[in-house]
Amino acid sequence: MLKIRDKETFILFIIGFGLSFFIVLNGYHLLNAWFTQMVKSQTETAYQNHVQFTTATNVPERRQQTMAEQQQAIIKADELLHILSRQTDTTYIRDIYLPIGSAAQYEPTDIILSYSEEWYRTLQSGYYPTKEQINSGKKYAVISDSAKAYVEQSEEGEIIKINGEPYFVTGVFENYQASGYDMEISFFYLPDIDYQKDIIHQRVAKHLLYGWSLDICLGSNTQDVTDSAKQLMDTIESEFDCSTAVSDYSEDTSIAKFYAGIKAVVLGILFFVSILNCIQITRLWMVRKQKDLVILKTYGFENYQIVARLAGELVQMMLISLLCVVLLDTLYMIRTASFSLSLRVYVQNASLLLIAFIIVIILTMAPITEHVKKIEPAIGLREL
Protein backbone atom coordinates (compact mmCIF):
# COMPACT_ATOMS: atom_id res chain seq x y z
CA MET A 1 0.00 0.00 0.00
CA LEU A 2 1.40 3.36 -1.01
CA LYS A 3 2.05 5.68 1.93
CA ILE A 4 2.14 9.36 1.05
CA ARG A 5 4.52 11.18 3.38
CA ASP A 6 5.69 13.98 1.09
CA LYS A 7 2.43 15.28 -0.40
CA GLU A 8 4.04 18.10 -2.41
CA THR A 9 6.47 15.74 -4.19
CA PHE A 10 3.72 13.15 -4.72
CA ILE A 11 1.43 15.72 -6.37
CA LEU A 12 4.29 17.03 -8.53
CA PHE A 13 5.13 13.45 -9.53
CA ILE A 14 1.56 12.60 -10.53
CA ILE A 15 1.06 15.85 -12.46
CA GLY A 16 4.45 15.64 -14.21
CA PHE A 17 4.19 12.00 -15.24
CA GLY A 18 0.51 12.34 -16.13
CA LEU A 19 1.16 15.28 -18.42
CA SER A 20 4.11 13.48 -20.00
CA PHE A 21 1.98 10.43 -20.82
CA PHE A 22 -0.88 12.64 -22.02
CA ILE A 23 1.37 14.71 -24.30
CA VAL A 24 2.97 11.61 -25.82
CA LEU A 25 -0.40 9.93 -26.39
CA ASN A 26 -2.12 12.90 -28.01
CA GLY A 27 1.02 14.00 -29.82
CA TYR A 28 1.10 10.55 -31.36
CA HIS A 29 -2.54 10.87 -32.49
CA LEU A 30 -2.05 14.37 -33.87
CA LEU A 31 1.01 13.30 -35.83
CA ASN A 32 -0.85 10.25 -37.12
CA ALA A 33 -3.76 12.42 -38.23
CA TRP A 34 -1.37 14.88 -39.92
CA PHE A 35 0.53 12.07 -41.65
CA THR A 36 -2.71 10.45 -42.85
CA GLN A 37 -3.92 13.77 -44.26
CA MET A 38 -0.64 14.46 -46.04
CA VAL A 39 -0.45 11.00 -47.59
CA LYS A 40 -4.11 11.15 -48.57
CA SER A 41 -3.49 14.48 -50.29
CA GLN A 42 -0.90 12.68 -52.43
CA THR A 43 -3.04 9.64 -53.21
CA GLU A 44 -6.14 11.67 -54.10
CA THR A 45 -4.61 13.28 -57.17
CA ALA A 46 -6.19 10.90 -59.68
CA TYR A 47 -8.13 7.65 -60.03
CA GLN A 48 -6.41 4.43 -58.98
CA ASN A 49 -6.17 3.44 -62.65
CA HIS A 50 -5.46 6.42 -64.84
CA VAL A 51 -3.60 7.56 -67.91
CA GLN A 52 -2.80 11.20 -68.52
CA PHE A 53 -1.46 12.35 -71.85
CA THR A 54 -0.71 15.67 -73.48
CA THR A 55 -1.69 16.75 -76.96
CA ALA A 56 0.05 19.35 -79.08
CA THR A 57 -1.22 20.40 -82.50
CA ASN A 58 1.34 20.54 -85.28
CA VAL A 59 1.13 24.17 -86.43
CA PRO A 60 3.43 26.34 -88.56
CA GLU A 61 5.42 29.21 -87.11
CA ARG A 62 3.13 31.48 -85.11
CA ARG A 63 1.47 34.25 -87.10
CA GLN A 64 -1.80 36.17 -87.10
CA GLN A 65 -4.56 33.64 -87.62
CA THR A 66 -7.28 34.34 -90.16
CA MET A 67 -10.99 34.32 -89.30
CA ALA A 68 -11.38 31.15 -91.38
CA GLU A 69 -8.66 29.39 -89.38
CA GLN A 70 -10.21 30.50 -86.11
CA GLN A 71 -13.60 29.23 -87.24
CA GLN A 72 -12.06 25.92 -88.29
CA ALA A 73 -10.39 25.62 -84.87
CA ILE A 74 -13.76 26.11 -83.15
CA ILE A 75 -15.23 23.29 -85.23
CA LYS A 76 -12.27 21.01 -84.42
CA ALA A 77 -12.62 21.86 -80.73
CA ASP A 78 -16.29 20.83 -80.88
CA GLU A 79 -15.34 17.52 -82.54
CA LEU A 80 -12.64 16.84 -79.93
CA LEU A 81 -14.96 17.62 -77.01
CA HIS A 82 -17.62 15.28 -78.42
CA ILE A 83 -15.07 12.49 -78.83
CA LEU A 84 -13.98 12.90 -75.22
CA SER A 85 -17.60 12.96 -73.99
CA ARG A 86 -18.29 9.60 -75.72
CA GLN A 87 -15.56 7.71 -73.84
CA THR A 88 -16.72 4.82 -71.64
CA ASP A 89 -14.22 5.74 -68.89
CA THR A 90 -14.31 8.97 -66.94
CA THR A 91 -12.53 11.47 -69.19
CA TYR A 92 -11.55 15.02 -68.35
CA ILE A 93 -9.28 17.87 -69.35
CA ARG A 94 -6.96 19.11 -66.60
CA ASP A 95 -6.00 22.65 -65.69
CA ILE A 96 -7.87 24.72 -68.25
CA TYR A 97 -7.82 28.33 -67.00
CA LEU A 98 -11.30 29.87 -67.12
CA PRO A 99 -12.85 33.12 -65.81
CA ILE A 100 -14.46 32.30 -62.47
CA GLY A 101 -16.92 34.32 -60.40
CA SER A 102 -18.43 37.74 -60.95
CA ALA A 103 -14.96 39.28 -61.23
CA ALA A 104 -13.99 36.75 -63.95
CA GLN A 105 -10.76 35.79 -62.16
CA TYR A 106 -8.90 33.12 -64.15
CA GLU A 107 -8.45 29.91 -62.17
CA PRO A 108 -7.43 26.33 -63.15
CA THR A 109 -10.36 23.97 -63.66
CA ASP A 110 -10.97 20.34 -64.52
CA ILE A 111 -13.53 19.84 -67.30
CA ILE A 112 -15.28 16.48 -66.82
CA LEU A 113 -16.70 15.34 -70.15
CA SER A 114 -17.40 11.64 -69.64
CA TYR A 115 -18.53 10.64 -66.15
CA SER A 116 -18.71 6.85 -65.77
CA GLU A 117 -18.06 6.63 -62.03
CA GLU A 118 -17.83 8.90 -58.99
CA TRP A 119 -15.02 11.47 -58.94
CA TYR A 120 -11.85 10.37 -57.13
CA ARG A 121 -11.80 13.14 -54.50
CA THR A 122 -13.28 12.74 -51.01
CA LEU A 123 -15.97 15.28 -50.14
CA GLN A 124 -16.13 17.06 -46.80
CA SER A 125 -19.71 18.09 -47.54
CA GLY A 126 -22.36 17.73 -50.21
CA TYR A 127 -22.56 15.09 -52.93
CA TYR A 128 -21.59 14.29 -56.50
CA PRO A 129 -24.34 14.75 -59.09
CA THR A 130 -25.69 11.61 -60.75
CA LYS A 131 -25.52 10.92 -64.48
CA GLU A 132 -29.24 11.57 -64.72
CA GLN A 133 -28.82 15.00 -63.14
CA ILE A 134 -25.95 15.87 -65.49
CA ASN A 135 -27.80 14.66 -68.59
CA SER A 136 -30.84 16.71 -67.61
CA GLY A 137 -29.03 19.78 -68.90
CA LYS A 138 -28.51 21.42 -65.52
CA LYS A 139 -24.91 22.49 -64.89
CA TYR A 140 -23.06 21.18 -61.83
CA ALA A 141 -19.68 21.73 -60.18
CA VAL A 142 -17.73 20.48 -57.16
CA ILE A 143 -15.14 22.77 -55.64
CA SER A 144 -12.46 23.10 -52.96
CA ASP A 145 -12.53 25.21 -49.79
CA SER A 146 -10.62 28.06 -51.40
CA ALA A 147 -13.01 28.18 -54.36
CA LYS A 148 -15.90 28.87 -51.99
CA ALA A 149 -14.84 32.53 -52.20
CA TYR A 150 -16.42 32.55 -55.67
CA VAL A 151 -19.71 30.95 -54.59
CA GLU A 152 -22.89 33.03 -54.81
CA GLN A 153 -26.38 32.44 -53.50
CA SER A 154 -29.29 32.01 -55.88
CA GLU A 155 -32.96 31.14 -55.45
CA GLU A 156 -32.20 27.50 -56.28
CA GLY A 157 -29.05 27.18 -54.19
CA GLU A 158 -25.32 27.92 -54.26
CA ILE A 159 -23.77 28.61 -57.64
CA ILE A 160 -20.35 29.37 -59.06
CA LYS A 161 -20.11 31.31 -62.30
CA ILE A 162 -17.81 30.18 -65.09
CA ASN A 163 -17.58 32.92 -67.70
CA GLY A 164 -20.88 34.21 -66.35
CA GLU A 165 -22.64 30.82 -66.67
CA PRO A 166 -24.03 29.56 -63.33
CA TYR A 167 -23.04 26.07 -62.20
CA PHE A 168 -24.75 24.62 -59.14
CA VAL A 169 -22.26 23.66 -56.43
CA THR A 170 -23.20 20.24 -55.05
CA GLY A 171 -20.09 19.39 -53.02
CA VAL A 172 -16.87 20.66 -51.42
CA PHE A 173 -13.65 18.67 -51.50
CA GLU A 174 -11.85 17.60 -48.34
CA ASN A 175 -8.97 20.00 -47.69
CA TYR A 176 -5.59 18.37 -46.97
CA GLN A 177 -3.43 21.46 -47.39
CA ALA A 178 -1.84 22.91 -44.25
CA SER A 179 -1.78 26.34 -45.87
CA GLY A 180 -5.53 26.23 -46.47
CA TYR A 181 -5.08 27.18 -50.14
CA ASP A 182 -6.33 24.36 -52.34
CA MET A 183 -7.93 26.02 -55.36
CA GLU A 184 -9.70 23.32 -57.31
CA ILE A 185 -12.82 23.55 -59.46
CA SER A 186 -14.22 20.54 -61.30
CA PHE A 187 -17.34 20.91 -63.38
CA PHE A 188 -19.44 18.55 -65.44
CA TYR A 189 -19.69 19.65 -69.04
CA LEU A 190 -21.94 18.70 -71.96
CA PRO A 191 -20.59 19.87 -75.36
CA ASP A 192 -24.03 19.84 -77.03
CA ILE A 193 -24.45 23.61 -76.92
CA ASP A 194 -23.92 26.62 -79.17
CA TYR A 195 -20.18 26.20 -79.52
CA GLN A 196 -19.75 29.57 -81.26
CA LYS A 197 -20.34 31.40 -77.96
CA ASP A 198 -19.10 28.80 -75.51
CA ILE A 199 -15.95 29.64 -73.52
CA ILE A 200 -14.83 25.99 -73.32
CA HIS A 201 -14.90 25.60 -77.08
CA GLN A 202 -13.02 28.86 -77.44
CA ARG A 203 -10.29 27.86 -74.99
CA VAL A 204 -9.82 24.40 -76.55
CA ALA A 205 -9.84 26.00 -80.02
CA LYS A 206 -6.97 28.29 -78.97
CA HIS A 207 -4.97 25.28 -77.81
CA LEU A 208 -5.50 23.64 -81.19
CA LEU A 209 -4.90 26.83 -83.13
CA TYR A 210 -1.63 27.84 -81.47
CA GLY A 211 -0.23 24.40 -80.70
CA TRP A 212 -0.65 24.69 -76.94
CA SER A 213 -0.70 21.41 -75.06
CA LEU A 214 -3.86 19.93 -73.58
CA ASP A 215 -3.73 17.57 -70.58
CA ILE A 216 -6.32 14.85 -71.04
CA CYS A 217 -6.89 12.12 -68.47
CA LEU A 218 -8.85 8.86 -68.41
CA GLY A 219 -9.48 7.26 -65.03
CA SER A 220 -11.26 4.47 -63.21
CA ASN A 221 -11.16 2.87 -59.78
CA THR A 222 -12.54 -0.43 -61.07
CA GLN A 223 -10.83 -1.27 -64.37
CA ASP A 224 -7.68 -0.69 -66.40
CA VAL A 225 -7.85 2.25 -68.81
CA THR A 226 -4.59 1.74 -70.70
CA ASP A 227 -6.16 0.32 -73.86
CA SER A 228 -8.89 2.95 -73.91
CA ALA A 229 -6.30 5.72 -73.56
CA LYS A 230 -4.18 4.24 -76.36
CA GLN A 231 -7.19 4.14 -78.70
CA LEU A 232 -8.13 7.70 -77.80
CA MET A 233 -4.58 8.94 -78.41
CA ASP A 234 -4.52 7.22 -81.83
CA THR A 235 -7.87 8.83 -82.71
CA ILE A 236 -6.71 12.32 -81.73
CA GLU A 237 -3.43 11.96 -83.64
CA SER A 238 -5.16 10.80 -86.83
CA GLU A 239 -8.11 13.21 -86.83
CA PHE A 240 -6.57 16.42 -85.49
CA ASP A 241 -3.00 16.32 -86.76
CA CYS A 242 -1.78 16.23 -83.15
CA SER A 243 1.10 14.58 -81.41
CA THR A 244 0.35 12.87 -78.09
CA ALA A 245 2.58 11.71 -75.24
CA VAL A 246 1.78 9.96 -71.98
CA SER A 247 2.57 12.04 -68.91
CA ASP A 248 4.18 10.36 -65.94
CA TYR A 249 1.47 11.01 -63.39
CA SER A 250 2.22 8.23 -60.94
CA GLU A 251 2.16 8.77 -57.19
CA ASP A 252 5.43 10.09 -55.81
CA THR A 253 6.27 7.67 -52.98
CA SER A 254 9.27 9.79 -51.94
CA ILE A 255 6.88 12.45 -50.62
CA ALA A 256 5.12 9.89 -48.42
CA LYS A 257 8.53 8.76 -47.11
CA PHE A 258 9.45 12.40 -46.43
CA TYR A 259 6.24 12.89 -44.40
CA ALA A 260 6.92 9.61 -42.55
CA GLY A 261 10.41 10.87 -41.71
CA ILE A 262 9.04 14.13 -40.30
CA LYS A 263 6.50 12.20 -38.24
CA ALA A 264 9.19 9.90 -36.80
CA VAL A 265 11.53 12.79 -35.92
CA VAL A 266 8.85 14.91 -34.24
CA LEU A 267 7.47 11.92 -32.31
CA GLY A 268 11.01 11.00 -31.24
CA ILE A 269 11.69 14.54 -29.97
CA LEU A 270 8.34 14.60 -28.18
CA PHE A 271 9.03 11.29 -26.44
CA PHE A 272 12.63 12.26 -25.61
CA VAL A 273 11.52 15.51 -23.94
CA SER A 274 8.82 13.65 -21.99
CA ILE A 275 11.36 11.05 -20.82
CA LEU A 276 13.73 13.82 -19.64
CA ASN A 277 10.86 15.38 -17.74
CA CYS A 278 10.08 12.05 -16.02
CA ILE A 279 13.74 11.46 -15.13
CA GLN A 280 14.09 14.92 -13.61
CA ILE A 281 10.95 14.44 -11.52
CA THR A 282 12.25 11.05 -10.38
CA ARG A 283 15.55 12.62 -9.34
CA LEU A 284 13.70 15.17 -7.23
CA TRP A 285 11.69 12.35 -5.70
CA MET A 286 14.93 10.51 -4.85
CA VAL A 287 16.42 13.60 -3.22
CA ARG A 288 13.32 13.98 -1.04
CA LYS A 289 13.59 10.27 -0.06
CA GLN A 290 17.30 10.43 0.76
CA LYS A 291 16.66 10.28 4.51
CA ASP A 292 14.49 7.15 4.18
CA LEU A 293 17.10 5.44 2.02
CA VAL A 294 19.92 6.14 4.48
CA ILE A 295 17.83 4.80 7.37
CA LEU A 296 17.01 1.62 5.43
CA LYS A 297 20.71 1.08 4.67
CA THR A 298 21.57 1.69 8.33
CA TYR A 299 19.10 -0.99 9.42
CA GLY A 300 20.81 -3.49 7.14
CA PHE A 301 18.53 -3.56 4.09
CA GLU A 302 20.25 -4.93 1.01
CA ASN A 303 20.46 -2.82 -2.16
CA TYR A 304 18.06 -5.09 -4.07
CA GLN A 305 15.51 -4.84 -1.22
CA ILE A 306 15.65 -1.04 -1.25
CA VAL A 307 15.45 -0.93 -5.05
CA ALA A 308 12.47 -3.30 -5.01
CA ARG A 309 10.69 -1.11 -2.45
CA LEU A 310 11.39 2.03 -4.50
CA ALA A 311 10.27 0.27 -7.68
CA GLY A 312 7.01 -0.69 -6.01
CA GLU A 313 6.32 2.90 -4.98
CA LEU A 314 7.34 4.14 -8.43
CA VAL A 315 5.02 1.72 -10.21
CA GLN A 316 2.11 2.62 -7.95
CA MET A 317 2.58 6.35 -8.57
CA MET A 318 2.92 5.79 -12.31
CA LEU A 319 -0.30 3.74 -12.31
CA ILE A 320 -2.07 6.62 -10.61
CA SER A 321 -0.62 8.92 -13.29
CA LEU A 322 -1.92 6.57 -16.00
CA LEU A 323 -5.40 6.65 -14.48
CA CYS A 324 -5.26 10.44 -14.53
CA VAL A 325 -4.20 10.28 -18.20
CA VAL A 326 -7.13 8.03 -19.06
CA LEU A 327 -9.46 10.51 -17.37
CA LEU A 328 -7.84 13.49 -19.15
CA ASP A 329 -7.94 11.69 -22.50
CA THR A 330 -11.61 10.80 -22.04
CA LEU A 331 -12.48 14.40 -21.20
CA TYR A 332 -10.44 15.56 -24.21
CA MET A 333 -12.29 13.19 -26.57
CA ILE A 334 -15.65 14.34 -25.22
CA ARG A 335 -14.57 17.96 -25.62
CA THR A 336 -13.47 17.41 -29.23
CA ALA A 337 -16.48 15.23 -30.13
CA SER A 338 -14.22 12.27 -30.95
CA PHE A 339 -15.46 9.94 -28.22
CA SER A 340 -16.84 7.30 -30.59
CA LEU A 341 -13.46 5.84 -31.50
CA SER A 342 -13.05 2.34 -32.91
CA LEU A 343 -11.84 -0.60 -30.85
CA ARG A 344 -8.61 -0.55 -32.86
CA VAL A 345 -7.87 3.02 -31.72
CA TYR A 346 -8.53 2.10 -28.07
CA VAL A 347 -6.14 -0.86 -28.39
CA GLN A 348 -3.56 1.46 -29.97
CA ASN A 349 -3.93 3.89 -27.08
CA ALA A 350 -3.54 1.14 -24.49
CA SER A 351 -0.52 -0.31 -26.31
CA LEU A 352 1.16 3.08 -26.61
CA LEU A 353 0.64 3.85 -22.92
CA LEU A 354 1.91 0.40 -21.95
CA ILE A 355 5.04 0.82 -24.07
CA ALA A 356 5.63 4.32 -22.67
CA PHE A 357 5.06 2.96 -19.14
CA ILE A 358 7.65 0.17 -19.58
CA ILE A 359 10.24 2.48 -21.17
CA VAL A 360 9.84 5.07 -18.42
CA ILE A 361 10.15 2.40 -15.71
CA ILE A 362 13.37 1.07 -17.26
CA LEU A 363 14.94 4.48 -17.80
CA THR A 364 14.05 5.80 -14.35
CA MET A 365 15.02 2.65 -12.43
CA ALA A 366 18.58 2.65 -13.80
CA PRO A 367 19.67 5.89 -12.05
CA ILE A 368 17.71 4.89 -8.93
CA THR A 369 19.68 1.62 -8.69
CA GLU A 370 22.99 3.47 -9.10
CA HIS A 371 21.97 6.01 -6.48
CA VAL A 372 21.10 3.31 -3.94
CA LYS A 373 24.43 1.53 -4.50
CA LYS A 374 26.37 4.72 -3.74
CA ILE A 375 24.68 5.39 -0.38
CA GLU A 376 27.07 4.95 2.58
CA PRO A 377 25.13 4.77 5.87
CA ALA A 378 27.83 6.47 7.97
CA ILE A 379 28.28 9.36 5.52
CA GLY A 380 24.57 9.58 4.91
CA LEU A 381 23.76 9.90 8.63
CA ARG A 382 26.27 12.75 9.04
CA GLU A 383 24.67 14.61 6.11
CA LEU A 384 21.10 14.34 7.47
12 or 232, higher pLDDT: 232
Q: Is pLDDT of 179 > 50?
A: no
Q: What are phi and psi of 101, to 5 degrees?
A: 80, 180
Q: Which of 185-189, 265-269, 341-345 has the lowest mean pLDDT?
A: 341-345
The 10s digit of each residue's pLDDT in 106-142 is 999 999 999 988 898 889 899 999 888 888 888 999 9
Exposure string of 14-41, with b = 16+ CB inside 10 Å and e = fewer, is bebbbbbbbbbbbbbbebeebbeebbeb
Report the distance separating Cα 299 and Cα 297, nearest Å.
5
Per the CB < 8 A criterion, the answer to whether 108 and 99 are in contact is no
Query: Cα(341)–Cα(338) distance, rounded to whole angstroms?
Result: 7
The one-letter amino acid code at 350 reads: A
Least confident of 52-56, 208-212, 266-270: 266-270
- Looking at residues 9-13, what average pLDDT do you find? 79
β-sheet bridge partners, residue 142: 171, 186
Instruction: For 73-93, write each residue's pLDDT tens digit.
Output: 888 999 999 999 999 999 999
Is the model more confident about 91 or about 286?
91
Query: Which pTM does this prediction carry?
Result: 0.61
DSSP readout, 211-252?
T--EEEEEEESSS--HHHHHHHHHHHHHHH-EEEEEE-----
Share of the chain above pLDDT 70, in %: 79
Percent of the chain with pLDDT over 90: 24
State the pLDDT at residue 156.
Answer: 82
C-alpha separations of 210 from 97, 213, 384 in Å: 16, 9, 93
Count of CA atoms in the C-beta half-sphere (13 A) of 376: 4
Point out which residues pair with 125 in neighbouring strands. 172
DSSP annotation of 122 reads: P
Q: Is the dihedral of CA 75, 80, 83, 85 positive or negative?
A: negative
Q: Is the pLDDT of residue 380 over 50?
A: no
pLDDT at 303 over 50: yes
Beta-sheet strands, E only, within the chain:
49-57, 90-100, 105-114, 123-126, 140-143, 151-154, 157-162, 165-173, 185-188, 214-220, 242-247
